[in-house]
Amino acid sequence: AAWQKERDLLVEEVPVGVFIGQREITALMATPGRERELAAGFAVTMGWAGCQDPAPALDWNPQLCRVRLDLAGKEAPASGPRASGGGPLGPLEAPLAPDDFSLEMQDVLSLANTMAQTQELFRKTGATHAAALFDRSGRHLVTAEDVGRHNAVDKAVGALWLQGRLTEARAAALSGRLSLEMVLKGARAGLGLLLSVSAPSAPAVRKAQELGITLAGFSRGAQVNIYTHPHRITLNGKPL
């Protein structure tokens, strides 16, 4: 068989230290870029800050590769169970999902396609996950990419929080598996619909049902599996 040498573009990953006040909470292996957003989003999706809270003061030190957050006097709790991504999972409690919107099925099916169209780093390297956030009408708000699927969510959430726009977000399209911690992250960020091109886990489905989140997986082309709370999705104007 014929073969040839070629140059390939590889994605980087580095440890990013996350501090709240003077305390180091964790170090996240992440793709360089949007470190402030990563740390801010991590604080929200871990439940240490609310999605309606004002954005925190941040100090990013590129030499030490660490971000320090001031959460207005709040102290981060001790780390809880470990997530599948390696970081702390945090408490299993989360707020109920907002129920103030619905999306037509064709708009739901378009979420994953919009995410794919905005995955610039993935097109270059094939090595990153993505998270795209949308408002109550399905309008695209932000896409973030990272080698870690949890980091991609945190970067997207943090980007909107630092802009004072996180409360606009209602839905997310994700490139990776819908795990229990992904459902918790979505709930803490104020999302009511989580959609992925991949599958959910059984604990994720149970928690989404409990928290009132519409969970959808295997979104590919004109097909999607809906596991919980289908009432947020309409077909020709009628709830499923």
- Residues 206-234 pLDDT 10s: 999 999 999 999 999 999 999 999 999 99
Confidence band (pLDDT; 50, 70, 90) for 73? Answer: low
Which of 45-49, 88-92, 147-151, 215-219 is predicted least confidently?
A: 88-92
Q: What is the pLDDT of residue 163?
A: 97
- Is 69's pLDDT higher than 90? yes
Write 121-126 long-range contacts (CB < 8 A, 24+). Answer: 121/11, 121/31, 121/145, 122/175, 124/9, 125/9, 125/10, 125/11
- Residues 51-60 as b/e (b if ≥16 CB within 10 A, e otherwise) read beeebbebee
Query: Of 20, 23, 29, which Cα lies nearest the Cα of 49?
Result: 20
| pLDDT, greater one: 3 or 90 | 3
Q: What residue type is 1 in one-letter code?
A: A
Q: What is the pLDDT of residue 144?
A: 98
- Give me 188's structure tokens: 């803490």
Query: Of 128, 131, 136, 130, which Cα lies nearest the Cα of 108?
Result: 136
**Euclidean distance between CA atoms 136 and 162, whole angstroms:** 20
CA separation, residue 120 to residues 114, 130, 144 (Å):
12, 10, 10
Q: What is the pLDDT of residue 112?
A: 97
- Is 74's pLDDT higher than 90? no
Query: Of 97, 134, 127, which Cα lies nearest the Cα of 112?
Result: 134
What is the arithmetic mean of pLDDT over 67-89? 66
**Euclidean distance between CA atoms 28 and 39, whole angstroms:** 9
What is the arithmetic mean of pLDDT over 78-97? 66
Q: What is the pLDDT of residue 21?
A: 86
- Is 79's pLDDT higher than 80? no
**Euclidean distance between CA atoms 208 and 76, whole angstroms:** 25
What is the arithmetic mean of pLDDT over 97-101? 96
Q: What is the pLDDT of residue 100?
A: 96
Q: What is the pLDDT of residue 2?
A: 87
Q: What is the pLDDT of residue 155?
A: 98
What is the arithmetic mean of pLDDT over 149-174? 97
Task: Tell me how crowded residue 222 is: count the other CB atoms within 10 A of its CB.
Answer: 8
- Is 82's pLDDT higher than 60? no
- Is 190's pLDDT higher than 70? yes
- Crossing angle of helices 180-188 and 202-211, in 10° steps, is 30
**Euclidean distance between CA atoms 67 and 73, whole angstroms:** 17
